[in-house]
Amino acid sequence: MHYVIHSITEQHQLLSLPGPEHPLVSVIKFEDIQYIPVDGTVHFSMDFYTIAIKKGCECKFRYGQHYYDHDQGVMSFIAPGQMLSWDADDTLPPAGWLLVMHPDFIRGHALEQKIKEYGFFNYATDEALHLSPGEEKMMETIMGNIKQEYCSIIDNYSQDVIISHIDLLLNYSNRFYNRQFITRKHTNNEVLIKLEALLTAYINSPKLKENGLPTVRYISAQMNLSPNYLSDLLKKVTGQTTQQHIHNKLIEKARELLASSSLSVSEIAYYLGFEYPQSLSKLFKQKTSLSPSAFRSSFN
C-alpha cells in the first residue's frame, strides 16, 4: 500500500509531534520523534521537500560500489512525490535534524525554480552527502536559524529571511557535494572504468540491435547509481554527462565500422540502434566536424 503525506501538519501527527509552528515549513530534531512501529514494509511519499542531517547512524552508506561506515554527518535530500519505503526493523537516527518545506512556501520566489536545478534531490538515499565536523556544524546552525525565525513573531520579512536561509543551505550542499566528487577520486575512477566496460559490452552485444540505444536510466541502473548522481559525478570528473559518454562510445564504434567495413551509413546507423540514419549523421558531425561519408572518404 502507498501512503501520501500531504501536509507538514500530517507529518507531525504521524511522528507524534506537537503541531508545527508554521504550516509550510518546519525543523524537527530526530531526538524528539516518537517512532511508531509498523508491520512489514510501508511505501509512502510526501508532498513537500525534505532535507535531513543524520547523526549517530549505526549503519553503512553506499557510495558507488563501496560501503562506508558513518556515525555522523550524513545528509540526504528528498523531492516531493518521491517513493520511499520503511521496514518494520528500520530505526531512526538517534540524533540530527529534519527540515521539511512545502513547495507553496517558495511559490513565486526565485528559489521555486532554482531548487529544481539541484540534482541531489533526485539522488538515491544511499548516495548521501557526507559532512566534515565543520560542515555539519555549519548546516546545523542554518537549520537552527530557520527554526528560530519561524518561531519568532511573524512579520513582512519572515518568509524572505527563511527562504534566504534555505537558499544558503542548498548552496552549501551543492558546494559540499562537488567537493565529495573531487575528494573520492579513487572511487570515481572505478566508476569511469566500469562505465567504459559497460558501454563497450553493450555496443558489442546483441542488446544494441534488440533494445536500441542504451539509455541513461539503463546504464545508471546497471551501475547501481541514480541517473542524476551518475551524470553529476561524471560531469564534475570528466566535464561530460552520462548521455555524452554514451554518444562518444557510439561515435567511436561508428568510426570503427566506417573505416573497416563495407556497411553503408544507413546500415551502420541501424546497427548502432539509431531509428533514422540522419540521427547518426547529425551526431557524427557534431562530434567530429565531418559527415560519416566524408570520414570514410578520408581513408580512401
What does the DSSP assignment read for 189-222? HHHHHHHHHHHHHHHTSTHHHHH-SPPHHHHHHH
Q: Convert the pLDDT of each residue in 26-44 to its tens digit.
A: 999 988 987 666 677 777 8
Q: Are 104 and 95 in contact (CB under 8 A)?
A: no
- Are 190 and 41 within one domain? no
Pairing verdict, β 49-55 and 25-29: unpaired
DSSP character at residue 242? H
Q: What is the mean pLDDT of residues 127-134?
A: 86
pLDDT value at position 210? Answer: 82
- Are 179 and 192 within one domain? no
- Are 179 and 191 within one domain? no
Q: What is the mean pLDDT of residues 9-25?
A: 92
- Are 196 and 179 within one domain? no
**The residue type at 81:** G
Select from 183, 218, 247 the last residue of a domain.
Answer: 183
Confidence band, pLDDT 50/70/90 cuts, at residue 123: confident
Select from 122, 153, 183 the last residue of a domain.
Answer: 183
CATH of the domain at 273: 1.10.10.60
- Are 40 and 131 within one domain? yes
- Are 221 and 268 within one domain? yes
- Are 60 and 27 within one domain? yes
Q: What is the mean pLDDT of residues 212-238?
A: 89
Domain count, the chain: 2
Confidence band, pLDDT 50/70/90 cuts, at residue 90: low
Q: Are 283 and 268 in contact (CB under 8 A)?
A: no
- Are 126 and 68 within one domain? yes
CB atoms within 10 A of CB 33: 17
pLDDT value at position 283? Answer: 92
pLDDT value at position 65? Answer: 40
HEC string of 162-185 equals HHHHHHHHHHHHHHHHHHHHHHCH
- Are 121 and 52 within one domain? yes
CA–CA separation, 94 and 29 (whole Å)? 10
Cell numbers of 84, please? 520511499
- Are 12 and 77 within one domain? yes
CA–CA separation, 212 and 207 (whole Å)? 7
DSSP character at residue 290? S
Q: 3-class DSSP state for residue 236?
A: helix
Q: What is the mean pLDDT of residues 95-124?
A: 92
Closest to 228 in 3D by CA, of 247, 239, 243, 214: 243
Residue 58: is its pLDDT beyond 70?
Answer: no
Select from 124, 157, 183 the last residue of a domain.
Answer: 183
- Are 249 and 276 within one domain? yes
pLDDT more than 70, % of the chain: 88
pTM over 0.75: no
CATH of the domain at 126: 2.60.120
**The residue type at 104:** D
User: Within 13 Å of residue 216, how many CA atoms lie on the same side as its CB?
Assistant: 15
* Residue that the C-alpha cell 511508531 belongs to: 36
Domain span at residue 55 reads 2-183
**In sequence order, what are the beta bridge partners of 271?**
none
Cell numbers of 205, please? 552485444
CB atoms within 10 A of CB 95: 14
Is 258 buried (19+), middle (13-18) or exposed (0-12) by CB count in 10 A?
A: buried
**The residue type at 241:** T
pLDDT more than 90, % of the chain: 45
- Are 17 and 122 within one domain? yes
Average pLDDT score, the chain: 86
